Amino acid sequence: MQPILKRPFGLKFAKYQVLVLIGIAKIFILILLLKLNFAFHNPTPTWENALSNTPTSLLKKVFSVDAARGIEQKSVKVMQIQSNGTGELYLFDYHSPKLCGVKGCIYSMYTESGEMILQVIANPYLPPFVNLFQVSETVNQKFPCLVITQSTANENMLSRTLYCYQGHEYARFNESLTAINTNLKLEKRK
């Protein structure tokens, strides 16, 4: 017969039950630590001032492109995105009425070496706490995929389009519609 162990709060556990509970607690703690480690090593990229967070040679290349000429450089924002062994990627938000129209604004992504690998027109006006750009956990050819979220004609739905690296640039892979406030990861804008 298993010895009965008395625990606080008047609970009684057999020895094997205590061992099972300890094992479950260890697994739970291990999972929690792995999630925390992932969060610290893969922080969510945020928009920062491009003049102080982009290599000078890349800035010269970006501002020499016809569309970017004549814009106010100090208002340009950049999101630095880590790639797997291919250096940093730089996503530019020009914050310029010159580069915005009825459908949205131009956003460009460059490699560290100055190669433009994505240029899209996206509408930055989204519901609160919805990010326009999200870095996906999916990686293709050492580059992370990118999810671009957009409003739709239906005010209760958002369009989420996945762009992944293909060959020498990012290509549109698929689009899905997501109801607002249900299956969408709502992240506070930074």
Alpha-carbon span 69 to 63, nearest angstrom: 6
pLDDT digits 0-9 by tens, 45-67 = 889 999 999 999 999 999 888 77
Q: Is the dihedral of CA 64, 67, 68, 72 positive or negative?
A: positive
Q: Has residue 188 got a pLDDT over 50?
A: no
Alpha-carbon span 167 to 170, nearest angstrom: 8
Q: What is the identity of the amino acid at 89?
A: L
For the beta carbon of residue 144, count every other beta carbon within 10 angstroms. 20
pLDDT digits 0-9 by tens, 79-124 = 999 888 778 999 999 988 888 888 899 999 999 999 999 999 999 9
Per DSSP, what are the bridge partners of residue 23?
A: none
pLDDT score of 2:
54
The pTM (predicted TM-score) of the whole model is 0.71
**Which own/partner pairs from 95-98 qualify as long-range (CB within 8 Å, at least 24 positions apart)?**
96/71, 96/72, 98/70, 98/71
Per DSSP, what are the bridge partners of residue 150?
A: 159
Q: Has residue 161 got a pLDDT over 50?
A: yes
Residue 25 is encoded by which pair of tokens? 């607690």
Q: Which residue has the higher pLDDT, 162 or 46?
A: 162
Alpha-carbon 2 to chain mean position: 52
pLDDT digits 0-9 by tens, 10-47 = 556 677 777 777 888 888 777 777 666 554 555 578 89
